[in-house]
Amino acid sequence: MMKKMLVLLFLAFAVVAGAAQIKDMKFVCDAKKCGIEFQFASEDDLPTFFQKYDASGKKLTVGFSGTEFALGDGNYDIDATSEWVKSMRVFREKYRGMDFLKIEMAVGPSLASDKNEISLDNSNFLLKLKGNKGKAKAWTLSKIFAEKKKAADKAAAEEKKAAEKQALEDKKAAAKAAAEEKKRLAEEKKAAEKQALEDKKAAAKAAAEEKKRLAEEKKAAEKQALEDKKAAAKAAAEEKKRLAEEKKAAEKAALEEKKRLAEEKKAAEKAAKEEAKRMAEEQKNLDKAIKEGGAISALLPSVKEFTVLMGSGMEQFRLVTDDAIDIKYVSGPDKASIITVGVAGPQKSPVFKIGAGSLVKSVTWGANGLKLQLPVGLRPVMLVQDGALVLQTTESAIKKDGFIFWSARPDGIFVRDWMKAADANQSFDSFVNKYDKDSKKIVSGAQVFHLKPVVRELIVVEDEIDMYAGPNDNSQVINRLVFGDRLVNLDLVGLYYKVQSGARVGFVNRRSVSYKDELSAVQQERLKQVDKERGELAEGAVTIASQLDGMYEDRVTYSSFGRRDPFVEVKGLVEEGINIDQVELVGIIWESDVPMAILVESKNPSISYTLKEGDKILNGKVLKITETDVLFLIQEFGVSRRYSMGLPDKYGGKK
């Protein structure tokens, strides 16, 4: 009963009058029990105790408040093979305002709980370990400590004895080495004196031989000079003869060149006469076709009708084409105030200009379809009805009641003023001649029929590239081009564009150039800066393209990365496509014939996609792949936009 009371008093919060001290620890294990005995110096002022087991670290920690450890804080190795206690660390730590002595024990598989029983026998505190019987060996910490200290002292003494013995041997070896060094220096001195005498004799002999050699060289030089003089005279005579022959040949060549130039001039005059004759014949045929009517269209090819309606504060423009117009393929106005209608047209076309209207300034075919040029900043109402495009805005140029109406069709121009009687259907010539006299021209006939088509230009997008004589990198380099240089696109041959730069025609790698509407945002800003420095293009200038892009191909994108089999069809990809708002660009395969972009899903990086230029995505396609960026063309709700995705810095992108 008395022991139980002492245990309760030991575990309860108690006011400690003085610090307790653990003088030693023992581990005992027999058939009945295994436990650790903490031997206190006195049974008075015993501390508060706690125990805690860490299953992840295989550690049992016990703590005593206000307690000293006679053997001192630090690490103690017990038995690394023990299934109970392998080692322990003794340290101090504050816990709930109290100073605790903590003993953290690394334990084996036999001890896996902090529900261990405790008991008190006078000043000995017993911790009965709860666990399976395992490999156990009794130990006393002070004895382990003493044995290790004794072994350390013995090792230190042996090390000291060995050091003294080594020092004595080193001293003897040093004395012996000094004697040998003294002997060696004496022998070296004797040898040096002998060598100096021999060197003196050799120097005298060499001086005599050098004097003899110089005399012989002088004699040979005088002989060579005489021979060189004779040879020079002979060469001068031969050179004089050669120059005379060259002069005679040059005079003969000049005479032949004069004759050739005269023949070329005669041929050029003949060709000029034939060209003038041909142009006159073409003009005659053109005049005849216009006179007969119906031979030449008043509109662009593939356009059925332009209709303009103005008056009473309103202007309306109506466009009808051979191919049905879908609102999904109508985009703009863009920054250059151009509306693009995505319908097929000719590869080359003139510019149809409208001078009087406030709504549409000009119409032409571009790379992506029919382009309508509007005044800067104008945003008209736009709708598509029955396959026709209609634009409408307010109008203040014509300030009178009623309407002015004109309609251009391939067979002529129809004009109607609501305030006058109905006019007869006019021919295109009479319509143009009439409005040429007015201050506000509706249509310029010269611009309709006599403008040459504008070839779509390419822009160099790398810092420096080569222009080759043939469509391969092994061809002769005929020019060096830098970022921002403009090239005329003549043809596409495999992986190379045939281009014209100034008066030179050659080939460039198509990955080194881009069309202006395919540039990324970074490239566009850099191009503006380069143009500004060169003073080549005015701010906001627009180049009208006249070559159609190739038709888009329906392609199914397969992934060659991540966990999906790249040869298994991605179901629903054609119908749905990749949503670029839910993917990230992680790589670009550039050193290949066809550049490819590698994208992964933002929420699940194990799902990846590999895309090439022209591949379709959700509501658009991949427009261009550069070394660090991918440019997408997105069409949503009838509006087209370009979206650029760049490589992050950690994947090789540029800041």
Q: Are 583 and 609 in contact (CB under 8 A)?
A: yes
pLDDT at 436: 46
Listed by start position, the domains of the chain span 2-137, 303-449, 457-534, 573-651
Across residues 33-42, what is the average pLDDT?
A: 88
* Residue 180: HSE in the Cβ half-sphere, 13 Å Cα cutoff: 6
Indicate the DSSP class of residue 518: G
Query: Does the pLDDT at position 610 exceed 60?
Result: yes
* Residue 30: HSE in the Cβ half-sphere, 13 Å Cα cutoff: 1
End-to-end CA distance of the chain: 80
Segment 487-495 long-range contacts (CB within 8 Å, at least 24 positions apart): 487/457, 487/458, 487/459, 487/460, 487/513, 488/455, 488/457, 488/458, 489/455, 489/456, 489/457, 489/458, 489/547, 490/455, 495/471, 495/593
Query: Does the pLDDT at position 5 exceed 80?
Result: no
pLDDT at 224: 93
Q: How far apart are CA 119 and CA 592, in angstroms?
A: 79
Q: How far apart are CA 132 and CA 110, in angstroms?
A: 5
Query: Does the pLDDT at position 520 exceed 90?
Result: no
If you classify domain 457-534 with CATH, what class do you get?
Answer: mainly beta
Per-chain mean pLDDT for the chain: 78
Q: How far is CA 230 from the centre of its chain?
A: 71
pLDDT at 257: 83
Q: Are 598 and 609 in contact (CB under 8 A)?
A: yes
List the single range of 104-113, 488-497, 539-548 with lowest mean pLDDT. 539-548
Q: Are 431 and 441 in contact (CB under 8 A)?
A: no
Q: Is 30 helix (H, G, I), strand (E, B) or coil?
A: coil
Q: Are 101 and 125 in contact (CB under 8 A)?
A: no
pLDDT at 145: 84
Indicate the DSSP class of residue 71: T
Across residues 375-392, what is the average pLDDT?
A: 82
Among residues 142, 100, 123, the alpha carbon closest in space to that of 38 is found at 123
pLDDT at 499: 92
Dihedral class, residue 120 (left if φ above 0, else alpha if ψ from -120 to 50, else beta): beta
How many helices and strands in the chain, by DSSP H and E?
6, 36
Q: For the domain made up of 573-651, give the CATH fold.
A: SH3 type barrels. (2.30.30)
List the single range of 7-11, 177-181, 372-376, 642-646 with lowest mean pLDDT. 7-11
Q: Are 380 and 359 in contact (CB under 8 A)?
A: yes
List the single range of 22-31, 239-248, 438-447, 566-575 with lowest mean pLDDT. 438-447
Among residues 624, 642, 644, 646, the alpha carbon closest in space to that of 633 is found at 642
Q: How far is CA 293 from the centre of its chain?
A: 59
Across residues 532-546, what is the average pLDDT?
A: 53
Indicate the DSSP class of residue 329: G
Main-chain phi, psi angles of 468, to 5 degrees:
-100, 160
Query: Does the pLDDT at position 605 exceed 90?
Result: no
Q: How far apart are CA 334 and CA 377, in angstroms?
A: 10
Q: What's the pLDDT band for 402 if we cut at 50, 70, 90? A: low
Strands of 223-326, DSSP E: 303-311, 314-321
Across residues 395-415, what is the average pLDDT?
A: 64
Dump pLDDT digits (tens) for 224-263: 999 999 998 999 899 999 999 988 988 888 888 888 888 8
Strands 20-29 vs 67-69: parallel, antiparallel or unpaired:
parallel
Across residues 93-97, what is the average pLDDT?
A: 81
Among residues 22, 104, 36, 20, the alpha carbon closest in space to that of 71 is found at 22
Query: Does the pLDDT at position 523 exceed 50?
Result: yes
pLDDT at 540: 45
Query: Does the pLDDT at position 506 exceed 70?
Result: yes
Topology match between the domains 2-137 and 457-534: no
Main-chain phi, psi angles of 150, to 5 degrees:
-60, -45
Q: What's the pLDDT band for 217 if we cut at 50, 70, 90? A: very high
Q: What's the pLDDT band for 445 if we cut at 50, 70, 90? A: very low
Across residues 478-488, what is the average pLDDT?
A: 92
The overall longest dimension of the chain from CA atoms, in Å, is 142
Across residues 126-150, what is the average pLDDT?
A: 82
Q: How far apart are CA 292 and CA 582, in angstroms?
A: 62
Q: For the domain made up of 2-137, give the CATH fold.
A: Immunoglobulin-like (2.60.40)
Instruction: Tell me the H-state helices in 293-407.
Output: none
- Tokens linked to 205: 């002999």
Query: Does the pLDDT at position 53 exceed 80?
Result: yes
pLDDT at 289: 54
Listed in sequence order, the residues at least 6 apart from 616 whose beta carbon sits closer than 8 Å to its beta carbon are 552, 554, 555, 557, 574, 577, 622
Q: Are 633 and 645 in contact (CB under 8 A)?
A: no
Higher pLDDT, 27 or 133: 27
Instruction: Tell me the H-state helices in 517-614.
Output: 521-534, 573-576
Q: How far apart are CA 464 and CA 457, in angstroms?
A: 18
Higher pLDDT, 594 or 289: 594
Q: What's the pLDDT band for 653 if we cut at 50, 70, 90? A: low
Query: Does the pLDDT at position 418 exceed 90?
Result: no
Q: What's the pLDDT band for 220 if we cut at 50, 70, 90? A: very high
Q: Is 570 helix (H, G, I), strand (E, B) or coil?
A: coil
What percent of the chain clears pLDDT 90, i.e. is strictly above it? Answer: 26
Q: Alpha-carbon torsion 439, 440, 444, 445, what sign?
A: negative
Dump pLDDT digits (tens) for 295-334: 445 567 778 887 877 776 778 888 888 878 887 778 878 8
Query: Does the pLDDT at position 442 exceed 60?
Result: no
- Tokens linked to 15: 């006011």
pLDDT at 549: 34
Among residues 344, 521, 366, the alpha carbon closest in space to that of 457 is found at 366
List the single range of 151-155, 525-529, 634-638 with lowest mean pLDDT. 634-638
Across residues 139-164, what is the average pLDDT?
A: 89
Dump pLDDT digits (tens) for 206-216: 999 999 999 99
What percent of the chain clears pLDDT 70, i.e. is strictly above it? Answer: 75
pLDDT at 2: 42
Q: What's the pLDDT band for 455 if we cut at 50, 70, 90? A: low
Dihedral class, residue 562 (left if φ above 0, else alpha if ψ from -120 to 50, else beta): left
